[in-house]
Amino acid sequence: MSEAKNYKLKHKHFVILGLLAESPEGDHPYNIDKKIEERGMREWTNIGADFSLSTIYRIFDRLEKKNYVQGYSEQVDNRPRKVYQITDLGRKVLHHNIYTILKEFYGRKDEDFYVAFSMFPFLSEEEQFEVFNHSLSKIKTHKKELEEMLKENESYPINVVGLFKHPIMILQTDIEFLEWVIENIKKGENKFGPTTRD
């Protein structure tokens, strides 16, 4: 577990490992690419519009060298096809990254936050409450600090006041969002839906 705690996944590796983990029996790069396309992940993650199937294969090679995934071949229509499965170490690393990113989110733009959020059902319910409540507390504190600074700078022109007002309004939206997430977890809306592999 110590290796898992010391390894922060690169953004693209985080995306691929998380998508693979949705299929415990394993999956192949073509299906991972299909999930990325179906979920519009080239738009809301930082993997880029040119993120191709060959890139996915290269990432799987790197993840396999780290022992986060293991690959094996299967026959489909008399042709070999490479299938990858997440390892126990890969699950630990993925879990650690999801947990840490969600717990430390405090309203700043973070390319990994949306990816981690899309994977939060990997966490236990107790961990879900822990990370979102911790993040909510941090954001409320940060918002309060900015509001105090705004009071001290209210006499400045709009171009200065706006530098406090804008992040305060964004943080308020983040607060409402996290409160909504926590409320829905309480209602049991915190599980993955069914997944299938072709």
pLDDT of residue 3: 55
Q: Is residue 107 a part of any domain in this protein? A: no
pLDDT of residue 62: 95
Residue 105 in this model has a pLDDT that exceeds 60? yes
Tell whether 98 and 129 lie within a shared domain: no
Tell whether 54 and 11 lie within a shared domain: yes
With contact defined as beta carbons under 8 Å apart, do 102 and 117 qualify?
A: yes
Residue-wise pLDDT for 147-171, tens only, equals 999 999 889 999 989 989 999 999 9
State the pLDDT confidence band at 180, using cuts at 50, 70 and 90.
Answer: very high
Of residues 51 and 61, more confidently modeled = 61
With contact defined as beta carbons under 8 Å apart, do 136 and 144 qualify?
A: no
State the pLDDT confidence band at 195, using cuts at 50, 70 and 90.
Answer: very low
Report the distance separating Cα 172 and Cα 169, nearest Å: 5
Tell whether 27 and 74 lie within a shared domain: yes
Residue 30 in this model has a pLDDT that exceeds 60? yes
Tell whether 9 and 81 lie within a shared domain: yes
Residue 193 in this model has a pLDDT that exceeds 70? no
pLDDT of residue 172: 96
State the pLDDT confidence band at 122, using cuts at 50, 70 and 90.
Answer: very high
Tell whether 16 and 77 lie within a shared domain: yes
Tell whether 90 and 129 lie within a shared domain: no
- Token digits of residue 63: 């993840």
Residue 80 in this model has a pLDDT that exceeds 90? no
Report the distance separating Cα 99 and Cα 13, nearest Å: 16
Residue 173 structural domain: 124-186
Tell whether 15 and 71 lie within a shared domain: yes
Final residue belonging to a domain, choices 102, 135, 153: 102
Of residues 61 and 1, more confidently modeled = 61
Tell whether 13 and 84 lie within a shared domain: yes
Of residues 5 and 128, more confidently modeled = 128
pLDDT of residue 110: 78
Q: Is residue 192 a part of any domain in this protein? A: no
User: Which DSSP state fits 153?
Assistant: T
In CATH, what number is assigned to the domain containing residue 54? Answer: 1.10.10.10
Q: Is residue 129 a part of any domain in this protein? A: yes
pLDDT of residue 12: 93
Q: Is residue 128 a part of any domain in this protein? A: yes
Report the distance separating Cα 61 and Cα 178, nearest Å: 36
pLDDT of residue 194: 46
Final residue belonging to a domain, choices 69, 102, 135: 102
Number of domains within the chain: 2
Residue 196 in this model has a pLDDT that exceeds 50? no
Q: What is the largest CA-CA distance in the chain?
A: 75
Where is 5: in which H helix or E strand?
helix 2-5
